[in-house]
Amino acid sequence: MADKNRDPVVVIGLGRFGTALALELTRRGTEVLAIDNSRKTVQQLSGQITHVAQADSTDMEALRQLGVPDFYRAVVAIGTDLEASILTAALLAELEIEDIWAKAVSKQHGQILNRIGVHHVVFPENDMGERVAHLVSGRMLDYMEVEENFAMAKTRPPKEYVGVPLGRSNLRRKHGVTIVAVKSPGVDFTYATADTELSYGDVIIVSGSVEAVERFAELP
Ligand code: ADP
């Protein structure tokens, strides 16, 4: 169905993750149909999200009555109740929703969701745990794994790179990382160029393999 409007999103399960997602989509102007089987949750959120409905998402008839088959995109945000998560995702696949997203609470859960036809599986708790580990145990100010072996980190410049134009620093050859952007105190981030000279007090965005970024962020 190429003529489906791709913008509206169905969000199923309004726990912490689903609620944050539905509210953020709404704030960004996206039309949201949010579904949860808890009456209390639905009452709390009505008025804040375009459409909020109380229904059991493992019931095909209920999904049809709410018009779910007309949507291009849906997110299964149920985590704790694995059975409900898997059954809901399977029904969305049966309805041939073109773009199905689901949250998984474990690797196995994610594998099952993939097998039954979910297009994008996300691991919010796991990803956040990994990210916070980098912040808690090292000197990074922020960290994001873009793919399994590619990361970006916000950190401070190591001593040996202060006052040297990046073009002459041999950074890529020596450490396998690229400095993407630099922020000096009181000004915005700017893209790093070959002429950029880092100063103490700067904050930098560095990218490269996970290992290279981790090692670079540990340099004194
Ligand atoms: P979080 O960890 O993000 O808080 P939870 O898995 O705890 O996520 O929350 C899931 C939400 O999904 C709850 O609000 C729950 O009422 C809802 N839910 C669970 N099963 C169903 C179902 N079969 N149909 C609709 N909503 C459901």
Residue 165, domain CATH: 3.30.70.1450
Q: Do the domain assignments include residue 190?
A: yes
Q: Show the domain range for 192.
A: 127-217
Nearest CA to ligand 1 atom 8: 15
- Please tell me the distance between residue 81's alpha carbon and the centre of ligand 1 in angstroms: 7
Q: Do the domain assignments include residue 155?
A: yes
Q: Which residues line ligand 1 (CB under 6 A)?
A: 13-18, 35-38, 41, 56-58, 78-81, 84
Nearest CA to ligand 1 atom 26: 36
User: Are the C-beta atoms of 78 and 88 separated by less than 8 Å?
Assistant: yes
> Can you give the pLDDT of all 220 residues of the chain as single tens digits?
445 677 899 999 999 999 999 999 999 999 999 999 999 999 999 989 989 999 999 999 999 999 999 999 999 999 999 999 999 999 999 999 999 999 999 999 999 999 999 999 999 999 898 889 888 888 899 999 888 899 999 999 999 999 999 999 989 999 999 999 999 999 999 999 999 999 999 999 999 999 999 999 999 9
Quote the CA–CA distance of 41 and 14 in Å, as a whole number: 7
Nearest CA to ligand 1 atom 13: 15
- pTM given for the model: 0.83
Looking at the structure, do residues 117 and 42 belong to the same domain, yes or no? Answer: yes
- Please tell me the distance between residue 159's alpha carbon and the centre of ligand 1 in angstroms: 49
Candidates 11, 81, 86, 88: which one to mutate for ligand 1, based on the most atoms within 8 Å of Cβ?
A: 81
Q: How many domains does the structure of the chain reveal? A: 2
Last residue of a domain, one of 89, 106, 122: 122
- Please tell me the distance between residue 49's alpha carbon and the centre of ligand 1 in angstroms: 17
Q: What is the ipTM of this complex?
A: 0.96
DSSP secondary structure string for all residues of 96-132: T-SEEEEE-SSHHHHHHHHHTT-SEEE-HHHHHHHHH
Q: Do the domain assignments include residue 4?
A: no
Nearest CA to ligand 1 atom 16: 38
Nearest CA to ligand 1 atom 18: 13
- E strand or H helix at 60: helix 60-65
Output the CA torsion sign for 21, 22, 25, 27.
negative
Q: Do the domain assignments include residue 22?
A: yes
